[in-house]
C-alpha cells in the first residue's frame, strides 16, 4: 500500500477504537427500535462458512434491492464461468431471506462481517476469494484495505452518487479518492454518475458506464410473473408506493377526473402499511366504495387474485382498490393504464420507474424525483413519461392520457423500448466484466 493509503488505514483504525464505547449504545437503540442487532453474531465476527475449493467470486449486496438486482449477474457468471463458485454476503436479515426465497444461484451465503480488521481478515481467510464484487454503495474501508493487501481485484458495480449524498462525498473527497481507487473498475449506473466519480478523483481509466442492472432484473421478473386474464372495461389509475402527504393529492385528482370519466378506477399501493387505518379513513370520507386487500402475520385475510374475487369482480362493485400486501405491487401494473410514481409529491425522491416500463405503462412523476433522476430524464427524453411540477399540471397531463388512448399506448411502448435498449447494453457490459475473471 502506498504511504497515503497506509495513513488513511491507520486513521480508520484509530476512529474505530475511539468508537468502541459507543457501539453498545448503538446496538441498544437498534434493539429498542425492534431492528436487527446482529443477524448472525458468529458470521458478523468473521466466522462465515468456509470454502473448500478455488475460483471464488465474492459478491456483496447489502439488502433486498441490491440482492434482487444481481440475479442476472449470477446467472451469467454460472453460464460463462461454470467452474466458479459465488459467495454471497448481505448486510440485512431481509436481504438474506429474499436471496433464499428467490432461489438466487449462490453457492455460499452469509452476513457481511463487521468492518473491524480482525473480523474482515478472518472472513477473507475462510472465503478465499479470487475476486470481489460490491454492489452500489457499500464502501467498507477495512474490506477494501485487505482486498488491496491481498492483491484481490475488486469491482464496484451499479455505482451511483445521489444528489442527496453528493455534498457529503465531495466534503470527504481527499479520503474517498484513496478508497475508491482501490477498485480495479467502477461500473456506474449512468454517465452522470461516472462524471461524479471523476470529480472525486477516481482514475478515469477505472470508470465505465454499466447502466442500471435492475433493468435486467425487472425483465426476468416479468417473465416469471403470472399474467392474469381480465377484461379492461375501465380506465384504471395506479399510485405506486404512495407516502403520507400524497394521499389527498391523488384522491382529489381522482374525484375531479371522475366528473369527466365516471367509470374511472383507482388502485392505491402504499409504500409502508403503518398508516393503513389513516388511508382507510380518508377514503371513507370521500364516499367511494373501496376494497381492501391485506395480509397479517397470522394469515392472509384476502387474496385479490383468487377466482372468487379477481380484479374484474372487485371493480364491478368497487371504485377503489387499496392493496396493503408485501410483494404485490409488481402484479398490479398489468391492471392499470397510467401509473403515478409515489414519493414524488413529497420530498422522498421517488421509487422504481423500471417496473411500470417493463409492463409498457406510462408514468406521471411529481417534482421530487431525485432518487430516480437519471432514469426519469432519459424516459422523458424518449416521451415515455410525464414530469409534472404541480397539481394543476398533474390533472391536465392525466386527463390528456385518459382521453387519448393512442398517446397512452405510444408512451408505454416508448418506455418499454427504452428499457429493452438499456438491457442490451447492460448485458454486453456484464459479459465484458465476466471476461476479466480468469480461471
Domains belonging to the chain, first-starting first, are: 3-13+35-220 (3.40.50.11720), 224-422 (3.40.50.2000)
Residue among 115, 77, 111 nearest 97 (CA):
111
- pLDDT, tens digit, for every residue of 175-186? 899 999 999 999
Give me the pLDDT at residue 298, please: 40
- For residues 330 and 269, what is the distance between their CA atoms, to the nearest angstrom? 10
Give me the pLDDT at residue 299, please: 40
- Has residue 302 got a pLDDT over 90? no
Q: Is 387 helix (H, G, I), strand (E, B) or coil?
A: strand
Q: Are 269 and 241 in contact (CB under 8 A)?
A: yes
Mean pLDDT of 104-111: 95
Longest dimension (CA), the chain: 72
DSSP string of 134-164?
Answer: EETT---HHHHHHHHHTT--EEEEEE---HH
Percent of the chain with pLDDT over 70: 93
Q: Taking the model in full, what pTM does it have?
A: 0.85
* Confidence band, pLDDT 50/70/90 cuts, at residue 108: very high
Mean pLDDT of 89-94: 90
Look up residue 43 and give its three cell numbers.
458470521
Look up residue 283 and give its three cell numbers.
377514503
**Average per-residue pLDDT in the chain?**
90
- For residues 223 and 202, what is the distance between their CA atoms, to the nearest angstrom? 38
* Confidence band, pLDDT 50/70/90 cuts, at residue 230: low
* Confidence band, pLDDT 50/70/90 cuts, at residue 307: very low
- Has residue 231 got a pLDDT over 80? no
Q: Which residue has the cell 414530469?
A: 387
Give me the pLDDT at residue 40, please: 86
- For residues 251 and 267, what is the distance between their CA atoms, to the nearest angstrom? 11
Mean pLDDT of 424-429: 93
- Has residue 297 got a pLDDT over 70? no
- pLDDT, tens digit, for every residue of 365-413? 999 999 899 999 999 999 999 999 999 999 999 999 999 999 999 999 9
The dihedral built from the CA positions of residue 126, 130, 135 and 141, taken in this order, carries a sign that is positive
- Has residue 333 got a pLDDT over 60? yes
Q: Are 351 and 371 in contact (CB under 8 A)?
A: yes
For the chain, the residue count is 439
Mean pLDDT of 154-159: 96
Residue among 203, 408, 332, 334 nearest 342 (CA):
332
Look up residue 208 and give its three cell numbers.
465505465
Give me the pLDDT at residue 224, please: 74
Amino acid at each position: 500500500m502506498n504511504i497515503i493509503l497506509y495513513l488513511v488505514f491507520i486513521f480508520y483504525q484509530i476512529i474505530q477504537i475511539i468508537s468502541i464505547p459507543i457501539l453498545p449504545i448503538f446496538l441498544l437503540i437498534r434493539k429498542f427500535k425492534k431492528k436487527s442487532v446482529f443477524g448472525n453474531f458468529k458470521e458478523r465476527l468473521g466466522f462465515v462458512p468456509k470454502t473448500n475449493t478455488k475460483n471464488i467470486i465474492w459478491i456483496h449486496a447489502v439488502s433486498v434491492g441490491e440482492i434482487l438486482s444481481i440475479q442476472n449477474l449470477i446467472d451469467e457468471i454460472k453460464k460463462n464461468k461454470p467452474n466458479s463458485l459465488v459467495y454471497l454476503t448481505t448486510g440485512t436479515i431481509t436481504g438474506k431471506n429474499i436471496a433464499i426465497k428467490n432461489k438466487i444461484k449462490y453457492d455460499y451465503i452469509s452476513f457481511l462481517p463487521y468492518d473491524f480488521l480482525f473480523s474482515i481478515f478472518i472472513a477473507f481467510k475462510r472465503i478465499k476469494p479470487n475476486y470481489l464484487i460490491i454492489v452500489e454503495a457499500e464502501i467498507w474501508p477495512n474490506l477494501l484495505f485487505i482486498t488491496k493487501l491481498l492483491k484481490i481485484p475488486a469491482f464496484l458495480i451499479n455505482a451511483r452518487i445521489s444528489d442527496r449524498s453528493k455534498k457529503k462525498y465531495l466534503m470527504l473527497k481527499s479520503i474517498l479518492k484513496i478508497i475508491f481507487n482501490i477498485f480495479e473498475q467502477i461500473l456506474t449506473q449512468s454517465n452522470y454518475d461516472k462524471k461524479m466519480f471523476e470529480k472525486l478523483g477516481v482514475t478515469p481509466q477505472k470508470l465505465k458506464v454499466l447502466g442500471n442492472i435492475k433493468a435486467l432484473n425487472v425483465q426476468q421478473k416479468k417473465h416469471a410473473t403470472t399474467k392474469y386474464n381480465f377484461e379492461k372495461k375501465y380506465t384504471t389509475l395506479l399510485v405506486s408506493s404512495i407516502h403520507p402527504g400524497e394521499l389527498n393529492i391523488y384522491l382529489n385528482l381522482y374525484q375531479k377526473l371522475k366528473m369527466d370519466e365516471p367509470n374511472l378506477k383507482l388502485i392505491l399501493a402504499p409504500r409502508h402499511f403503518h398508516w393503513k387505518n389513516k388511508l382507510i379513513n380518508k377514503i371513507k370520507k370521500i364516499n367511494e366504495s373501496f376494497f381492501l386487500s391485506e395480509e397479517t402475520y397470522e394469515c392472509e385475510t384476502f387474496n385479490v387474485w383468487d377466482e372468487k374475487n379477481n380484479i374484474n369482480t372487485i371493480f364491478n362493485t368497487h371504485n377503489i382498490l387499496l392493496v396493503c400486501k408485501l410483494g404485490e405491487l409488481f402484479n398490479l401494473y398489468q391492471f392499470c393504464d397510467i401509473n403515478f410514481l409515489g414519493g414524488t409529491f413529497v420530498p422522498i425522491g421517488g421509487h422504481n420507474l423500471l417496473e411500470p416500463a417493463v409492463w409498457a405503462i406510462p408514468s406521471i412523476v411529481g417534482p421530487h424525483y431525485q432518487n430516480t433522476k437519471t432514469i426519469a430524464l432519459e424516459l422523458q427524453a424518449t416521451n415515455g413519461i410525464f414530469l409534472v411540477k404541480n397539481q394543476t399540471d398533474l390533472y391536465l397531463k392525466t386527463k390528456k392520457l385518459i382521453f387519448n388512448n393512442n398517446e397512452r399506448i405510444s408512451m408505454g411502448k416508448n418506455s418499454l423500448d427504452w428499457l429493452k435498449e438499456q438491457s442490451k447494453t447492460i448485458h454486453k457490459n456484464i459479459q465484458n466484466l465476466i471476461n476479466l475473471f480468469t480461471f
